[in-house]
């Protein structure tokens, strides 16, 4: 059996992701039914800055580097996630993410991401927003481009 195709395995993997701490067993079970496992070889460009975004990625294993305008803005490892910004605001991808090692991901489509938010809003939304804010500050610091939000 390949990575994450068993529902119980996906549940166990999601239980180890801090974003979902505080979610009930039923909520994690439902999120696990939405998540699709994906294996990514090292060197793969998972997202590209400026492209439309239609997926949210939870890193189960492996590492990636995020860059904006060719400048590294951060790394993402096991237990991390990316792709949320384009799904939240409907805009283009804000960063390019490239796998620096082989990666095992759980992937949610836009509709499934929205369903996950609706289902687990009180537990997930504050953590998600904190990460989005931190990422925007890192991008602004790295590129010198101020947010268009005026904050």
Between residues 88 and 7, the one the model is more confident about: 7
State the pLDDT at residue 104. Answer: 95
Distance (Å, whole) CA 131 – CA 48: 19
Instruction: Examine residue 65 and state whether it is found in any structural domain, yes or no.
Output: yes
Name the pLDDT band for 116 (thresholds 50, 70, 90): confident
Residue 132 CB-half CA count within 13 A: 16
Instruction: Examine residue 56 and state whether it is found in any structural domain, yes or no.
Output: yes
Instruction: Examine residue 135 and state whether it is found in any structural domain, yes or no.
Output: yes
Between residues 128 and 45, the one the model is more confident about: 45
Name the pLDDT band for 143 (thresholds 50, 70, 90): low
pTM metric for this prediction: 0.80
Instruction: Examine residue 18 and state whether it is found in any structural domain, yes or no.
Output: yes
Structural domain boundaries, residue 77: 7-143
Q: Using one digit for the tens of pLDDT, what is the confidence trace for 14-28?
A: 888 878 888 888 889
Mean residue pLDDT across the chain: 84
In terms of phi and psi (left: phi > 0; alpha: psi -120 to 50; beta: otherwise), the region of 122 is alpha
Instruction: Examine residue 148 and state whether it is found in any structural domain, yes or no.
Output: no
Instruction: Examine residue 86 and state whether it is found in any structural domain, yes or no.
Output: yes
Nearest Cα neighbor of 58 from 31, 29, 25 is: 31
State the pLDDT at residue 151. Answer: 35
Distance (Å, whole) CA 36 – CA 111: 13
Q: Which of 55-59, 81-85, 108-112, 128-132 has the lowest mean pLDDT?
A: 128-132
Report the CATH number at residue 72: 2.60.120.10
State the pLDDT at residue 149. Answer: 39
Between residues 146 and 60, the one the model is more confident about: 60
Whether residue 131 has pLDDT greater than 80: no
| Angle ∠(100,135,137) on CA atoms, nearest 5 | 130
Instruction: Examine residue 63 and state whether it is found in any structural domain, yes or no.
Output: yes
Distance (Å, whole) CA 34 – CA 7: 10
Whether residue 78 has pLDDT greater than 50: yes
Instruction: Examine residue 150 and state whether it is found in any structural domain, yes or no.
Output: no
The H-or-E segment that residue 126 falls in is: helix 110-143
| Counted domains in the chain | 1
Mean of the pLDDT values across residues 69-87?
89
């Amino acid at each position: 059996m390949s990575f994450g195709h068993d529902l119980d395995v996906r549940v166990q993997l999601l239980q180890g992701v801090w974003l979902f701490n505080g979610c009930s067993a039923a909520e994690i079970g439902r999120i696990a039914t939405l998540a699709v496992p994906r294996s990514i070889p090292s060197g793969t460009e998972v997202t590209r800055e400026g492209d439309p975004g239609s997926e949210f990625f939870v890193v189960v294993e492996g590492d990636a580097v995020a860059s904006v305008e060719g400048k590294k803005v951060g790394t993402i490892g096991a237990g991390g996630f990316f792709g949320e910004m384009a799904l939240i605001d409907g805009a283009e991808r804000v960063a390019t993410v490239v796998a620096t090692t082989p990666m095992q991901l759980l992937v949610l489509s836009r509709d499934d991401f929205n369903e996950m938010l609706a289902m687990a809003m009180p537990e997930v939304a504050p953590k998600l927003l904190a990460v989005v804010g931190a990422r925007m500050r890192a991008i602004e610091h790295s590129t010198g481009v101020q947010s268009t939000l005026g904050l």
